[in-house]
Amino acid sequence: MAEPKEFIEIRWHGRGGQGAVTSAELLAQAAISEGKYAQAFPSFGPERRGAPVLAFVRISASKPIKVRAEITKPDVVVVLDPGLLKIVDFTSGLKKDGIVVINTVKSAEQIRKELKIDSAIVTVNATKIARELLGVPITNTTMVGAVLKATGAVKMESLLEPLKHRFGRLAEKNIGAMKRAYDEAVIEERAIA
């Protein structure tokens, strides 16, 4: 797991109905429960179920967050749907030391070659985990586990209450999916030049 940063900005790329907005909100709630400052918000246009959507989360360990604009220079980019990899410029503005977290069956090496990504890459087969543990291919809570492993932005325990509140009787399955993705996510540091 990475060392948590003092201030981190995460941009989530998903499709309507996949839970990108929920993921951002859960992460922000967990950060706030730890005494940090956080904000989460979506970017909505004429979205419909299945259309590409964006969600954003900012976390500050010690200072109030005053900016409310979309995140254009993220520290971390999360891609919930591998189908977006070739149709959305998901690495746009990614900081030089940024991290890309992708739901994919491919290895980081394959992704790096295909998409010419020079950043650190974290891969996890979130769709498989979601199907097996949740019974549906909705990868939002699963991808939260991969983000935690990649960033250390919050403690996993801090997500338990927000997940229970959000998902009620389905919380334990979502917690299981998050934990499994944390365990199975593979981190590959940036390409060697």
Condensed to tens digits (0 to 9), the pLDDT of residues 134-158 reads 999 999 999 999 999 999 999 999 9
193: pLDDT strictly greater than 50 = no
Q: Which CA distances in Å does 94 have to 127, 142, 167, 170?
A: 24, 22, 32, 34
Report if pTM > 0.85. yes
The pLDDT value given to residue 43: 85
Rg of the chain over CA atoms, in angstroms? 15
The pLDDT value given to residue 2: 64
The pLDDT value given to residue 49: 66
For residue 130 the two structure tokens come to: 């979601």
Kindly state the average pLDDT of the residues 80-107. Answer: 95
Domains and CATH numbers, the chain: 7-188 (3.40.920.10)
Kindly state the average pLDDT of the residues 164-189. Answer: 96
- Which residue in 131, 160, 135 sits closest to 145, CA to CA? 160
User: Helix axis angle, 20-33 relative to 140-151, nearest 10°?
Assistant: 50
Average pLDDT of every residue of the chain:
93
Name the range with the highest mean pLDDT among 40-49, 60-69, 85-94, 178-187: 178-187
User: Helix axis angle, 140-151 relative to 157-167, nearest 10°?
Assistant: 170
